Amino acid sequence: MYTIRQASYEDATAIANIHVRTWKNTYQDLIDEKDISNMTYENRKVLWQTILQTQTEDRVTLVIHQNEQIIGFISGGPSVQRDLTMMRKFIRFTY
């Protein structure tokens, strides 16, 4: 059974791990190895700690659990493209 809840700061480690593993596995045959190696667990952990510290009503990250282990996440917030005035929300990450 799966459960979904809002992510907390304490989830940054698990989210970073999923983010790096999935990204490297997905893009390993499409992107140069030096670019792949630039995405590290350490820099993703800092990124997710920052994101999770600054969640607001407009920015949210959710995690999905199976057997008390985080197995995926989704994160979104306001559109980052100013010229898309009709787009109010934007999904940034889905893993």
Strands across the sheet with 60-66, in order? Answer: 2-6, 60-66, 69-78, 89-94
Model confidence at 94: pLDDT above 70:
no
What digits encode the pLDDT tens for the residues 18-31? 999 998 888 888 88
What digits encode the pLDDT tens for the residues 48-86? 999 999 888 788 899 999 998 999 999 887 766 666 555
Whether 72 and 61 have beta carbons less than 8 Å apart is answered as no
Arch. (CATH architecture) of 2-94: 3-Layer(aba) Sandwich (3.40)
Domain ranges of the chain: 2-94
